[in-house]
Amino acid sequence: MTIRRGSLYAGVFVLAVGVVTLADSSGSLDRSTVGDAVAVLWPVAVIAIGLAMLLRRTSASLPAGFVAAAAPGLLLGGALVAAPSLPMPCSPSPRASTTQTQQGSIDGTGAIDLHLACGELRVGTQPGAAWRLDTTDGTNARTAVSATSHGFTATSQGHARGWARGLAPVTWVAILPTAPALDLIAQVDAGRGTLDLSGATLRTVDLGVDAGDLRADLTGATLDRLSLEANAGSSTLTLPADSFTGDISASAGSVAVCVPAGLGLRVDQEASLGSIRFNALVRNGDTWTSSQSGATTNIADLRVSASVGSVTFNPEGGCK
C-alpha cells in the first residue's frame, strides 16, 4: 500500500488544530496563557517547516514532516482559542425603535458600568451629582438598566455573545456627573463609542473595544487608574494632564494616544508582532516628554503592550 505523505501530513495538521480546540471546549486551557504562548512561540512553526525541507531526502524526513505539520496546526488552534469572541453582528432595522430615559443622582462615590454591543455609545459630563441615560433600542434589542444611589449599570442585549439575525443597533447617550468620584467601566463591542469626560472626577477608568471604534477624551479630568484594551478594534485616547497609572493594550487592533504638554510618561513596553511608537516625544532618562514641556512634575506610569497591533503616542493629525 502506498501512503501519500501529503494526505498524511494534512491529517496531522487538522488533528493538531482539533486537539487544541477540543481542549479549549472542555475547559482545560486558559485562553490568556494560550495567547501568550502563540505570541512567543510562533517562530517554532517556521523553524519546523524549514527543518522538514532540509531533511526531506534523509531517513528523518517522515518524523520531520510530522513535526512540520503539527506545529502550524497547534499554532492555528491556539490562535483560534485566543482570538477575541465575536460580538453579535448588527443589521439595519425597518421597525420602529423604542426610546427610554432614566436618571438619578449619586450619593458619595459612584460606579458606572456601560456595556454596549451592536450600536453607538456617547458619553458626556455635567456639573453636580445627577446623571441621565437615554437609550434607543431597535429590533430584537433591549437595554437593561439597574440603578442605585451610587450609580447605574447598563447592558445591551448584544452583551450575550453569539450570532443572531435581525439585531438592530442600539444608541445610548449618557451624561455623567462631575462632582462625585466615579469608577467607570465602558465596553463597546461591534459598535462605536465617543466619551468626552472633561472635568470628571475619576478613580478608575476601564475602557474596552472589541471589533469596534472607541474615542475617549480625558482632558481636564482627574484620574487615579486607567485601563484601555482594544481587541480587533481601534481606539483614540487623549490623556489628562495630571499624574496617574495605567495599562494600554492593543491585540489585533490599534490605539492612538495624545499626550498633553507638561505630562511625562514612564512606559514599560512590550510588543509581540506589533509596534509601539513615540512621535513628538523625547526621552530623558526613563521618562518621555514633549519637546516643548521640558521638566514636568506630572508623571503617568504606563504598561503598554501591542500583540499583532500598534500603539502610537501623538499620532500625526492628533486624536480626533
Question: Per-residue pLDDT for 3 more than 70?
Answer: no
Which pLDDT tens digit goes with each residue over 101-160?
A: 999 999 999 999 999 988 899 999 999 999 999 999 876 678 899 999 999 999 986 433
Q: Where are the domains positioned within the chain? A: 5-82, 98-313
Alpha carbons 33 and 36: distance in angstroms, whole number: 5
Best CA proximity match to 39, nearest among 78, 73, 86, 68: 78
Which pLDDT tens digit goes with each residue over 200-226?
A: 999 999 999 988 899 999 999 999 999
Higher-confidence residue of 254 and 283: namely 254
Residue with cell 430584537: 140
Quick one: what percent of the chain has pLDDT higher than 70?
A: 79
pLDDT for the residue 314: 92
State the amino acid at position 97 in one-letter form.
S
Q: Tell me what the mean pLDDT of segment 41-57 comes to.
A: 74
User: 246: which strand partners?
Assistant: 226, 302
The strand ranges marked E within 88-166 are 98-105, 110-126, 130-137, 143-148, 151-156
The strand ranges marked E within 127-221 are 130-137, 143-148, 151-156, 170-177, 182-196, 201-210, 213-217
Higher-confidence residue of 4 and 248: namely 248
Alpha carbons 270 and 73: distance in angstroms, whole number: 26
Q: Tell me what the mean pLDDT of segment 240-263 comes to.
A: 92
Higher-confidence residue of 18 and 282: namely 282
pTM of this structure = 0.71
